[in-house]
């Protein structure tokens, strides 16, 4: 690539990075891909690193700069693997919707820059890809979903994906089990259970007790009525027939964990793309 063309791209990219991505023509994009587009945009964004890290110097600044470069490179690679889909989604939007997507892109980029685990950036891009496919998305929606993703670690995502696949992917070829996850992440069974409890605390998992509590309360009320009728007959001297047989209530509630509705939506928004 000529120095002039590279300079033109960098000048364009001094505004919003997404504008640069979509303004590059298909012929230029192919040429960029051959010469490693990730390094071009990585260099471009690293030039702004000092403004993103005010008041930090020495070893700390060096560490954050390395993380910044690493995350931006990973983000750009993932972004460009989906560039055609993003371009189609954006072209179908009106100007107001495009401006909103630009704002959301900046929000996502903030999360990318601060991320500790590089592998999670793939899921951040998956989420942004889904955002560009929606007609209207609020800032609160994006912040809520990305805040939860920020709180998770790769082991949490592995457990979520396992639970989703085992429940909702009918033609699922994977043979992964919770033992595979334990081995891959070096977890004991107690630590694995701790991960599940943390996912429950966040609201991504729910117990069957929560799901079936209404049905169980109705069953208990029904049994109380049967007991009352039984006692009424048992204490009535005029009742001469045999007493009905009492049975224990059949409760559906169990402490087994499963994905909540929010958990299912969360997986489909960020994670399930790789399983489709």
Per-residue pLDDT, averaged over 168-192, amounts to 81
215: CB partners within 8 A, 6+ apart? 252
Q: What is the pLDDT of residue 274?
A: 46
Question: What's the pLDDT band for 219 if we cut at 50, 70, 90?
Answer: low
Share above pLDDT 90 across residues of the chain, in percent, rounded to a whole number: 26
Q: pLDDT digit string (tens) for 198-209? A: 999 999 998 865
Indicate whether 155 pLDDT > 90. Answer: yes
SS (H, E, C) 228-276: HHHHHHHCCCCCCCCCCCCCCCCCCCCCCEEECHHHHHHHHHHCHHHHC
Indicate whether 173 pLDDT > 90. Answer: no
Is there a contact between 86 and 22 (Cβ–Cβ < 8 Å)?
Answer: yes
Q: What is the pTM of this model?
A: 0.69
Higher confidence at residue 1 or residue 16? 16
Indicate whether 106 pLDDT > 50. Answer: yes
Question: What's the pLDDT band for 216 if we cut at 50, 70, 90?
Answer: low
Select from 183, 180, 116, 127 the least CA-distant residue to 154.
116
Is there a contact between 73 and 121 (Cβ–Cβ < 8 Å)?
Answer: no
């Amino acid at each position: 690539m000529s120095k002039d063309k590279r300079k033109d791209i960098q000048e364009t990219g001094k505004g919003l990075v997404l504008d640069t991505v979509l303004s590059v023509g298909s012929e230029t994009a192919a040429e960029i891909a051959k010469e490693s587009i990730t390094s071009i945009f990585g260099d471009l964004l690293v030039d702004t690193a000092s403004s993103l890290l005010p008041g930090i110097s020495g070893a700390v600044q060096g560490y954050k700069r390395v993380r910044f470069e690493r995350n931006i490179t990973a983000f750009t690679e993932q972004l460009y693997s989906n560039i055609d889909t993003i371009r189609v989604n954006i072209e179908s939007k009106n100007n107001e919707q495009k401006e909103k997507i630009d704002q959301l892109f900046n929000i996502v980029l903030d999360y990318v820059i601060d991320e500790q685990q590089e592998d999670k950036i793939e899921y951040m891009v998956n989420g942004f890809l889904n955002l560009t496919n929606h007609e209207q998305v609020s800032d609160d929606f994006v912040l809520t979903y990305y805040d939860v993703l920020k709180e998770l670690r790769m082991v949490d995502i592995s457990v979520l994906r396992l639970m989703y696949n085992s429940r909702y992917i009918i033609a699922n070829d994977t043979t992964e089990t919770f033992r595979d996850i334990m081995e891959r992440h070096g977890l004991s069974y107690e630590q694995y259970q701790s991960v599940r409890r943390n996912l429950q605390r966040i609201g991504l998992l729910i117990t069957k007790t929560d799901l079936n509590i209404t049905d169980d309360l109705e069953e208990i009320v029904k049994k109380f009525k049967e007991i009352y009728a039984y006692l009424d007959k048992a204490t009535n001297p005029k009742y001469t027939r045999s007493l009905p047989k009492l049975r224990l209530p059949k409760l559906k509630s169990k402490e087994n964990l499963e994905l909540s509705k929010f958990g299912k939506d969360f997986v489909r928004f960020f994670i399930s793309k790789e399983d489709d």
